Every structure is written in structure tokens, then in C-alpha cells.
Amino acid sequence: MSADARDNEADGPEASARAGLLREIEASGAFAADPRWRDAFAAVPRHLFVPYYYVGGAGGYERRWGESPDPRTRERWMRGAYEDTPLATRLRDGVLLSSSSQPSLMALMLAELRVEDGARVLEIGAGTGYNAALLSYRLGEGNVTTVDLDPEITESARRHLEEAGYRPAVVTGDGARGVPERAPFDRIIVTCTLTTVPRAWLAQCAPGALILAPLATGLIALTVRDASHAEGRFLETAAYFVPLRGSGRSEPEEVVLAGVPRRARDNDRFRFLLALTRGTLDPQEAASLWEREGMPGRERYGITLDAGHAWAWLDEPEGPYAWPLPEAAG
């Protein structure tokens, strides 16, 4: 089947599926902080960034492919590309290396960046290139840099972006070290889970810049004062991403929850506290604190980095509850 024939076949289903996705994102409230991102999601075709993806099932992963000779398979691929779900795009020995994030979560994160026209943005974790395309549509491709450690990921992201008509800077490198040659940045958006905040990012930010990053199953929004100081709170929403690879990554230890009451053990907000304080509070101490303080959600926690150290806290940076964050290796 020719490319033109495939494009004609996709026009109808793609338009309907993309409109449905937009309705879902709007209904989630993800655009609330900046409704202008709706135009980006309406304009950028997600299916160009996921020419194939994997759907998990009882028998393992099923590969859905836009080039399949079976029209029913192509239809399932197109519908799936516009579902409000994350899509696994790269596996190695059964381990997920890269994915296209859930669109409503992407929309919320982009809106929470609160960008102004002309803002320079660094994305940590290139993924499929879809997020960089959305940023390029909104801010102009010259203001967007995306970086990833894996050259296969950056090459495919660059190819997808060019097919969609965007050419931001796509860099192969250790995201934990940033991209100093493209600095300074007004915003850094991270699409992989951190265990700490790399110091190199602060030095590459303009004063007043914002870093938005997944950490401990939450999203931290840090305002950067200078190369040594940043502070901010977590958003209310949960966030689960593929871990950062490279010098900024440390392996978490297994947590044993024996002795923790079920009401805490099964609660997502308690598990966030466990992840945030891992290595500092044991699970029973964490459960006692969490219940004593009214079972706080993510929005009551924050992070501070200064020239001497970094710490997470509950309610206030200088309050009674504070826990050290690890320093990034390298």
C-alpha cells in the first residue's frame, strides 16, 4: 500500500480519534492553567510519533504497527494512538526504556510550565519527540531543546519530528548534565522519574526559571533563584514515568511494609511519602507521621536546594518535618 493510500485511509479515523482525545483532555481539566495548549494538541498528530507501540496483555506485549497489511490492525493502531493512555514504544529484554506519556498528563505538565511567548525550554527525556513537537508549536522550534541518553531514541525522535514538520534541537547526552551549550533556559520539563534534582540544571537556568519534574511519584515545580538555590512545592497530581538513566540516577532499595496498617499501606498518598523519604524514615515511622499530620497529599510537600544541601519537607521548608535528598552522582 502506498503512503498516499495510507494517508487517505487514516484521514477519517485520525480526525475523529484526535477530536475524541481533545475532548478527554479538556474534560480532565489539564488545560486549566494555560488553555492555549489546546491548539498545540489539536495541531500536532500523535500517530506520527508512534508508528508502532506495544500493548501489554496476559501473554506479554502485542505490537501494533501502522504499516501492517491488515486494515483492522491499522485501525486498532490509529485508535490506540489517540487514547488517553501512555504507550510503550521501546523495550529491551522485557524492560520498558521509552514511552509516549499519557496525553492528559502531558497537557497538565505543559500548562503548569506557565510559559510566556519566546521562552527557552529544555526537555529531559526525548521519548518519541511528541512533547518536543507540542513545545515547538507553542514556542517555536528554535526555543526548544530535547535531550536523551540513548542515540536510538534521539534518532527516532528526530525522524518523527521532521516528519511532523518540526526541527528543535535534539541532543544525545546525559540529561542529568543538561545541555550547557544551549543554556540559559527559562523552563526545564522532565519526562522521566528522578530520585533527586541534578545541580547542573540550576546552573543552566535563567533567574526565575521553573523546573517541573517527576520525583517520588509526584510532580515538583521548582523556582530557580540562582545556580545554587531553588525551591518549590509538589503538584497535587500523581505521576509515574520511566526512571532517568545516566549520572543522575540512583537505585531505590526494596521497601518492606510489614507492620504498616493497611489503611496506609494501600494509600497512594502514603506511598508517595515513603518514596520521598526513602532511606530516612522507616515505613512504620512514615505511617505514624502521615496519620498524625492528617494523611497529607502531595501538595503539602516541597523541596529546597541551597548551596549546602537539598531536602524535602512537609508544609514549610524550615518546619519540623524535613528529610535530606541524595545528591546526584557525577
HSE, CB side, 13 Å, CA atoms: give it for residue 168: 31
**Has 101 been annotated as catalytic?**
yes
Q: Give the residue among 211, 250, 232, 229 at the shortest CA–CA distance from 305.
A: 229
Catalytic residue among 98, 99, 101, 136, which? 101
Q: Which amino acid is at 271?
A: R
Cβ–Cβ < 8 Å for 204, 137: no
The Cα 130–Cα 48 span in angstroms is 9
CA torsion, ordered 305, 311, 313, 319, to nearest 10 deg: -90
Run of H or E including 303: strand 301-305
Q: Phi first, then psi: give them for residue 156, nearest 5 degrees.
A: -70, -40
Q: How far apart are CA 35 and CA 111, in angstroms?
A: 7
C-alpha cell at 71: 486494515
Instruction: Identify the burial level of 134 via C-beta atoms within 10 angstroms of its C-beta, where 0-12 means exposed, 13-18 middle and 19 or more buried.
Output: buried
C-alpha distances in Å from residue 156, one per residue of 71, 127, 153: 25, 9, 5
Catalytic residues: 101
